[in-house]
A and B are shown apart, each in its own frame.
Chain A
Amino acid sequence: MSQHSGDYEDFLRGALHAAVDSAQPAGDGLERIRARLTTPHPLPVAWLMAVCSWVARRARGSLDSVSAWLQTVPGEVHRRNGAAEGRYIERLRLVTTVAAVTVLLAISVSTLTPFGRHVISQAGSALNSIGGGEPAGTGQLGTNGHSGGGSGVTGAATHGGQSPGQPAATCTPGASALAIPPAKTGPAGPGPASTSPANPSSLASTSPASPPAASTSPASPPATSTGPASPSPASPPQASTAPAPSPSPAGSTPASTSSPSPAPCTSPTASPSPSSSSPSPPATSPPPASTAPASPPPASTAPATTAPATTAPASPAPTSSGSVSPASSGPDSTGPSSPPAASTAPATDPGLSTAPAEPEDSASG
C-alpha cells in the first residue's frame, strides 16, 4: 500500500513538474520588477525623513534647553513678583511646548497627504537640481509593494504594462538599481548552480551616485492602490523642474521617455553590463555631492558577496521574538506572512506583521 502510495506520489510529482516545465515565464521579469521598484519615492522621501529627524533632534535639544531655562525663570520671578507672574510663565511654557509639538505634528501629517507628497516631491526635485541631478519623478510616496491580490487579478490586463505616458522615475540608489543577471534571467528553478548573487556587473548599477534614469514606471498596481490621490500620473512639475545638467540622453528627456524597458541607473563606475538597456555614458551627471553628504561609495567597489540582510539597519519595527507571522492583517490582505525569523513589523506592514490569522482561509474549500 505504501509502495503504491509512494509510486502515486512520484507520479504526481512528475506530473506537476512536467506541467510547470511547459509554462515558460517571460524573460523580462527582472526588468518589470525593477520598473515597479523605480516608482519614485526613495530619494526625496529619504532626504525629507533625514532632515525631519535632524530637525526633530535639534528641536528636542532646543526645547530641553528652553525648558530648563524656563524652569529657572519662575523661581526668580516668583521671588520678585509673586506667584501670579510665575503662573503666567508656566502657562507660557506650556503654550510654547504645545505649539512646537503642533508644528512638528503638522509637518508629519503633511507628508502623508497628497499635497504634502507633492511638496515633498518638488523639494526633492529642487534638491536634485541643486546637486546637479535630475528632477525627481512623481510625488508618489511609500510604495510599500503591497498591491494585494487585485493586482494579480488584473494582471492579464496590465501585464507587461508600461504605460508610455507615465512620468519619469527617479533612479534611486537602491530600489532602482536592480541589475539583470548577465546570462539568463530565468534559470532553472531551484537549481543551485544558477545562483549568481550580485555579480559585479549587476552590482555596478547599484551606485548611489547614479543619476535618475528616465525609466518609465509601469502600471504599478501597488503604488497606485496605496496612494489613491497620488499626483504621480499627473505631476509634470517634477519633470518640468528639471534643470538637470545631466548629459545623459535619458536624463535630457525625463518625462517624455516612454521606452518600454526602464533605463537602469548608470553608475560612474559602472561596468558595461550587458543588461543595461540604455547606452548611457559612464559618468552621466555628478552626484549631488553638495546636497548628499551621505552618498555611499559606488557600488562597484562593494564586494560581490555582500551579505544582503545582515546589515539591515534601523528597523523601525519593534523587535520581538522572530516568529513566523503569516500576514493578513493590514490593508493588503494578501500580504505575505513573514518568514519565521523575520522581524515583527508594526501594523503598517501587513507583509511582516505578526498576525497569523489569514483571511484567505475562507477561500479554501
Chain B
Amino acid sequence: MTATDPGEVAGRPIHVSETLTAAMAADRNAVHATTALYTAHYRSLVGLAVLLVRDISTAEEIVQDSFVAMHSNWRRLRDSGKALWYLRQCVVNRSRSVIRHRMVVDRKVPQLMPDMPSAEQGAMALLERSAVIAALHGLPARQREVLVLRYYADLSEAQIASALGISRGTVKSHAARAMTSLREVLEREA
C-alpha cells in the first residue's frame, strides 16, 4: 500500500502503516509507563483517594480510572516524567467529583435502616476509628485536600497549588485554617 505518485508528498512514498506504527509505538510506551507507575505508586494513590473519599473500593476505582485516563492520553502527554503528576491530579479531581456526587445522592436517597450497616460503612469503620481521620473529614473539602496532599503525599505548597489549580497563598490559608480547625476539634474531644 505504497503510493508512488511523484506529486504527492515531496516525492516520498507514503505508507499506510506509518500512522499505525506510530500509534503502536506510543501504545507500547504507554503500557510500559502504566505498568511502572502502577508498580511504584498505585498504593500511595489509593491511599490518597481513600483519605479523600473514605471508601477503599471507590478509591481503587478512582485510581484505576485515572490510570486508564493516563494511558488513553499518553500520546498527548509530552513529558512522561509528569505522568505521576497527571495521575495525582486525576485522583484528586475524581475524588472531588465522587464526593460531590455522593452529597447529591445522600440528599435524595432515603437513609438506610439503622440496624443495617452498608458495606461502605463497614469499609469505613476502620478509618473512622481514628479521631484524626474523623476530624479530617469534618473539614471542608478543599481544606481536606490540602491537608492530605501536604501531610500524606508530602507535596510542597507549590505542588499542591498546581495540583489543585489554586494559588500558593490560597494553599497556605487553607492549610492554616484546616490545622486550626483540626486542632480545635481534637482538643475539644480530648
Q: A195-B36, A335-B69 are in contact. Are A190 and B41 (CB under 8 A)?
A: yes
Partner of A17, one of B64, B98, B120, B152: B152
Chain B residues near A130: list those with CB within 8 A: none
Chain A residues near B141: list those with CB within 8 A: 363-365
Q: A25-B60, A156-B57, A342-B78 are in contact. Are A311 and B25 (CB under 8 A)?
A: yes
A220 to chain B, nearest CB (A): 8
Q: Does A54 have its Cβ within 8 Å of any Cβ on chain B?
A: yes
Q: Is the interface of A mostly helix, strand, loop or mixed?
A: loop
Q: Which of B63-84 contact A (CB under 8 A)?
A: 63-83
Chain A residues near B70: list those with CB within 8 A: 145, 336
Interface centre among B15, B34, B91, B99 (most CB of A within 10 A): B34
Are A15 and B22 touching (Cβ within 8 A)?
A: no
Interface centre among B55, B65, B132 (most CB of A within 10 A): B65
Closest A residue to B61 by CB, please name it: A155
Closest A residue to B5 by CB, please name it: A61
Are B31 and A364 touching (Cβ within 8 A)?
A: no
Are A8 and B183 touching (Cβ within 8 A)?
A: yes
Are A12 and B132 touching (Cβ within 8 A)?
A: yes
Are B75 and A152 touching (Cβ within 8 A)?
A: no
One digit per residue, 1 when the CB lies within 8 angstroms of any chain B CB and 0 when it does not, for chain A 275-288 equals: 00000000000000
A111 to chain B, nearest CB (A): 14
Compute how far the CA of A351 lies from the CA of B92 in the bound complex, rounded to whole angstroms. 13
Are A339 and B97 touching (Cβ within 8 A)?
A: no
What is the number of residues of chain B that contact chain A, defined by CB distance less than 8 Å? 116
B39 to chain A, nearest CB (A): 5
Are B93 and A339 touching (Cβ within 8 A)?
A: no
Chain A residues near B41: list those with CB within 8 A: 189-190
Q: Does A2 have its Cβ within 8 Å of any Cβ on chain B?
A: no
Q: Which of A272-307 contact B (CB under 8 A)?
A: 292-296, 299, 302, 306-307
Partner of A57, one of B14, B34, B38, B93: B14
Q: Which of B5-47 contact A (CB under 8 A)?
A: 5, 7-9, 14-36, 38-47
Closest A residue to B124 by CB, please name it: A23
Are A322 and B26 touching (Cβ within 8 A)?
A: no
Partner of A23, one of B40, B56, B75: B56
Q: A46-B20, A50-B18 are in contact. Are A19 and B132 (CB under 8 A)?
A: yes
Compute how far the CA of A26 lies from the CA of B42 in the bound complex, rounded to whole angstroms. 11
Q: A206-B32, A312-B80, A363-B99 are in contact. Are A65 and B86 (CB under 8 A)?
A: no
Q: Does A208 have its Cβ within 8 Å of any Cβ on chain B?
A: yes
Closest A residue to B55 by CB, please name it: A156
Are B126 and A174 touching (Cβ within 8 A)?
A: no
Chain A residues near B51: list those with CB within 8 A: 16, 19-20
Are A358 and B78 touching (Cβ within 8 A)?
A: no
Interface centre among A60, A197, A362 (most CB of B within 10 A): A197
Compute how far the CA of A334 lies from the CA of B101 in the bound complex, rounded to whole angstroms. 11
Are B42 and A25 touching (Cβ within 8 A)?
A: yes
B102 to chain A, nearest CB (A): 6
Compute how far the CA of A187 lies from the CA of B130 in the bound complex, rounded to whole angstroms. 24
* CB<8 Å pairs between A and B, sample of 12: A17-B152, A19-B130, A20-B152, A36-B68, A146-B72, A147-B68, A152-B95, A307-B29, A322-B79, A335-B69, A339-B89, A363-B103
